[in-house]
Amino acid sequence: MAVKKIDSRRMGEMPEGRLLITMAIPMILSMMVQALYNVVDSIYVARVSEDCLSALSLAFPAQNIMIGLATGTGVGVSTLVSRALGRRDGEEARRVTGTAIFLCFCCWFLVALFGVFGAKAFICSQTQVASIRGHAESYLQIVTIGSLFVYLEICAERLLQSTGLTRLSMWTQIIGAVTNIILDPFFIFGWLGLPAMGTAGAAVATVIGQAVGAIVGFVFHVRLNTELPIQLKEIRPHLPIIRSIYRIGFPSILMMCIGSLTNYLMNIILGAFTSTAVAVYGVYFKIQSFFFMPVFGINNALIPVIGYNYGARKKERIYRTILFGVLYASCFMLLGLSAFQLIPKQLLGIFAPSETMLSIGVPALRRISLSYVFAGFCIVAGSTCQALDRSVYSLLVSVLRQVVALIPAAWLLSRTGDVNMVWWAFPIAEIISFTASALFLRSALKGMEVTFSGKH
């Protein structure tokens, strides 16, 4: 495939609005494919049984931590590489690249241990329904033990993104996701003589798709990402770099962990009503990814752009990039709000819902989506703080939103005895998040001004 070489210096020269959308569009397309394959998994599994659909919801919190560890590490890697390139420090960028690959194997080892020894206990803590437990345990064990490939795939994507090669990153995700989509029915339903594995089959297809994506990503990187050659001698622990990666990325990881804890506790709160409510909650997360993934694509473009210009000390470009980021993110959130308000029944219809599922799901989608009015700004503000080395602000916002506001509000509303009241917790929590995000973003930008002025 012919690929035009893109100089990372364009991140300091191209007009910000065009730069951000040019870098974001390939990521948005690839993430939309990712969202599609997550939805396809659930569509296929829903046709096996509602218990299988509930099982995916119960496995999601642990799977989300696994992904969070990969993406958080990737945030740190992408930011450090972008800054090094902004300073024209190729040697440092290569050390970060080698360290990133080393960390992939460390993360996989930890997650695989959990899959072997902790998956069963994790699922049992959320439900006592034997059929649901069996489906969830098998799915979670397979995706955690095979998680090496998701770490390598995301690592390759971030290395490509950090030098502006977002088109290659897009193709890495698309090829992996399409592989998963194609294989799903073969393993879930037992096509072409394969055993019908149900949720376990969805897990097998996921791991194979991630493996294909990882291979493609590193082939692209080795052949075409010439600014970051992989040097075997650098694939080892560089402790100062590891500390820097996780100083930047750890808040993202912790935020994902907090999000997983929130999902875990919500599963327990909703499960006290009915397992159908748990299935609705899981389905909502699948559908909402079509609107959040584009925003995350914008964020993935925004972080290296801000990181590069922070390293180059180009203040005005940073401000303009933030403004465009908020504008683009808010547009996608308003699109999501419109869809959930106008056609919630049709959106749920693709998952073969029962009448009970529709009666719970329609008000759930309408009430949760009211939070989208504020969500776009909050997401961009958090990523900006990370890129400006104020990652702790993003962490504090996440704690305020989910631990201080969302779960307590959901629990209190559940005391009414009406499951449909629980969904109001989401817009309540987002209002608190918006307020905190605005204050912390202002503080981060003031800190940048002090750094650039040389004052202490």
pTM to 2 decimals? Answer: 0.79
The mean pLDDT value for 91-118 works out to 92
253 or 362: which carries more pLDDT confidence? 362
Structure-block tokens of residue 74: 């990737």
Helices (H), 118-238: 119-124, 130-145, 148-162, 166-189, 199-224
Q: Among 123, 52, 60, which residue's Cα sits nearest to residue 282?
A: 60
Contact 70, 107 (CB under 8 A): yes
- Token pair 């204050």 in the structure block, residue: 439
389 dihedral zone (left: phi>0; alpha: psi -120 to 50; beta): left
123 or 10: which carries more pLDDT confidence? 123
Collapsing DSSP states into helix, strand and coil, what is residue 5?
coil
Highest mean pLDDT of the ranges 231-235, 248-252, 315-319: 315-319
**pLDDT band at 9, cuts 50/70/90?**
low
**Predicted local confidence at residue 6, as pLDDT:** 44
Structure-block tokens of residue 104: 């992939």
Structure-block tokens of residue 370: 């009211």
One-letter amino acid for residue 155 of the chain: C
Determine the distance from the C-alpha atom of residue 273 to the mean position of all C-alpha atoms in its chain, rounded to a whole number: 29
The mean pLDDT value for 180-185 works out to 92
Give the span between the Cα atoms of 198 and 184, in whole angstroms. Answer: 9
Contact 81, 305 (CB under 8 A): no
The mean pLDDT value for 180-190 works out to 93
**Predicted local confidence at residue 359, as pLDDT:** 94
Percent residues over pLDDT 70 in the chain: 97
**Predicted local confidence at residue 37, as pLDDT:** 74
The mean pLDDT value for 195-223 works out to 93
Give the span between the Cα atoms of 361 and 358, in whole angstroms. Answer: 5
- With a cut of 80, say whether residue 34 has pLDDT above it: no
**Predicted local confidence at residue 2, as pLDDT:** 40
pLDDT tens by residue, 57-79: 899 899 989 988 998 898 889 88
**Predicted local confidence at residue 11, as pLDDT:** 66
Collapsing DSSP states into helix, strand and coil, what is residue 246?
helix
**Predicted local confidence at residue 179, as pLDDT:** 93
- With a cut of 80, say whether residue 356 has pLDDT above it: yes
